[in-house]
Amino acid sequence: MKKQDILQEDTQRTKGLDARESNIQAAIALADILKTTLGPQGLDKMLIDSMGDSIVTNDGVKILKEMEIEHPGAKILVDVAKTQESQVGDGTTTAVLLAGELLKKSKELLAQNIHPNLIAKGYKEVSLKTLTLLNSISQDVKTNNKKLIEDIAKTAMTGKIAELNMEKLSSILFEITQILKTENSLSINKLKIQKIPGSLEESELIQGIVLDKNPAHSNMVKTLKNPNILLVDFALEIQEIEADAKVNINSLQEYEQFIESEKKYLKNLVLKIKETGANFIVCQKGIDDSVAYFLAKEGILASRRTRKSDLEKLSLALKTPIVSSYEDVNKENLGTCVLVQVKEIENEQYIFVENTPNKQTLTLLLKASTKHVRDELERAIEDALGDLNSIMKSKKIVAGGGAIECELVKELQKELKYLTGKEELIAKAFTESLLIIPKTLCQNSGFDEIEILSKLQKEHENGNSNSGINGFKGIVKDTLKESIIEPINVKEQAILSATEATCMILRIDDIIAARKLDKSHEFKGDF
C-alpha cells in the first residue's frame, strides 16, 4: 500500500520544507499586521465584521480575536497572544512580534542547512539564559509607591485613547490597587467597569456595584436608604409548560380558574417577598409584568435579567447568598448597604448600589463620548490593571522603551561569546531578535532607526543599562527617570511564549487537512 492510499482522496497535504515555509510565512505575516500598533505612537486598526459593525483599536489580542484567521500556523501566534493576555494582561503585541522575528531569523538558519530541531534546542537554551539575566537586571519596588504605580499605569495606557486624561485615570488606578491588593495580587474580580456616555473627566470610582438596568416597573421607588436586598437567580414568573405537555381545559369556567390560579401564585410570591422585609430584588431571570406591578405597589424596587457576573459581584459586595428557589426566600438570605439609587444618565437608567459591607467591591464609571472611545478606554484600563497585577505578584520592574531588550542583547553577547559554529549562529539569531522591539518603536515613531539604535547600543556599552527610547521626544534617555516602566512578568511571559510558539512551528514538517479546502484556504502563507 502506498503512503497516500491511507488518506482520503480529497485530503490536502503539505510536507517537508513547503509545510515549514508555509507556517513560518503565515506567522510572520500576522506579526507584520500588529507591528504598527506597538508603542506610544502606534497606529490603530479598524475591524469590520459581517454585520458592518466596526471596532477601532490597537490592542493586540483584541485585533487577533476579531480577525478571521484561517491558517493553522498563524493561529499558533493567536494562542501566544491569548496566553500572554490571560497570564499577565498586557504585552500581547510584544510577544507576537518577538515570535515573528524569531521565525524570520529561523528562515535564514534553515537556508544554511541547520536542522530545525537544533534551532529549537538552541532557542530554548538561550531563552532560559535570557530569563535569568532579566531577573538579575530587574529592580525591586514597593507596591504602595503612588508615583511608581501611576507611572506603570501611564506606560500601559500610552498610545491608546486613555492619553486624553492620563493623570486622572492613573490616579484612579492607584486607588484601585490600594483597595484591591492582597499579599501577591489584585482581586480584579471585585472590580466592575461600567461604561457610560459622558465626559472622560467625569469618570469616577464608586464603592459598590452599578447595574446598567432599568427598574422592572416605571412606578417603582427610585431611592432606598439601608435597603434589604434579595438576590435571586430563578424567574419571578409562571414557568413555561414543556413542549410535549398539555393542559386540557373543557370550559370557560375552567379557563378562568386556570388564569386565577396563576395570578394567585404570583400574588403569593410577592407577599412572601414582602414578608421577608426585602425592598430591593435583583433577579437574574425574568420578572412577570404583573409581579413587577405588585412589587411597585408594595414599594419594592426590582431589576430583571441582570447579568450573572453582576449578580455574583453583588453577592460579594453584600456578603449575602444568591437564592436559587422560592423556598429559600427568607430574612436570613437578605443583604444590605447604605444606599440604592436609580439615576438617569444621558437618557439611560442605572441602579447604584453604594457603600456595601464588602469595601473591596468597586465600580469604575468610565465615561466617554462615543461607544468606540469607551470600548478602547476599557481595553486600556484592562491592560494597565494587568500590568499592576503583575507588579503585585513580582514586585519587580524593568526599564521600558526598548531599554531592557538592549541591555539583554549586550549581556547575552558576553554570556554566549564562547559558542562556535551552528550554536553561535543560533544564539546570535535569538539575541538579535530581541532588538525587534526598539526597532519597531523607532519605526512607529518616525525616528531614524539606525541613528537611534546606534545611540542606544553605545549608551548600554557605557554602562547606562536603563537607556531606552522616549517615543514622543525621539531621544535616548534613562527611561526609568522618564517614567517609562514595565513589570518584569510581562517581558518574561513574552519571551517564554514567543520561544515556545517558534519551536512548535519549527518542528512541524507535515500539514494534513481533514477535508478538502477551497483554493482561498490553501496553505501558501496567506490567511
372's enclosing H/E stretch is helix 371-394
How far CA 418 is from CA of 127, 162, 414, 431, in Å, comes to 17, 47, 9, 15
Q: Are 503 and 515 in contact (CB under 8 A)?
A: no
Q: Are 144 and 178 in contact (CB under 8 A)?
A: yes
Active-site residue identified among 288, 375, 383, 387: 383
Active-site residue identified among 14, 37, 57, 93: 93
Active-site residue identified among 14, 37, 57, 92: 92
Q: Is 375 a catalytic residue?
A: no
CA nearest 191: which of 201, 177, 170?
A: 177
The DSSP code for 240 is: P
How far CA 324 is from CA of 235, 284, 311, 363, in Å, comes to 9, 10, 12, 25
Reduced to 3 states (helix: H, G, I; strand: E, B; else coil), residue 186 is strand
Reduced to 3 states (helix: H, G, I; strand: E, B; else coil), residue 204 is strand
Active-site residue identified among 44, 59, 151, 387: 59
Residue 410's identity, in one-letter code, is K
How far CA 491 is from CA of 9, 84, 368, 398, 409, in Å, comes to 46, 10, 31, 9, 14
Q: Is 92 a catalytic residue?
A: yes
3-state secondary structure 474-502: CEEEECCCCCCEEEHHHHHHHHHHHHHHH
Q: Is 59 a catalytic residue?
A: yes
Q: Is 37 a catalytic residue?
A: no
Q: Are 42 and 440 in contact (CB under 8 A)?
A: no
Instruction: List the catalytic residues.
Output: 59, 92-93, 383
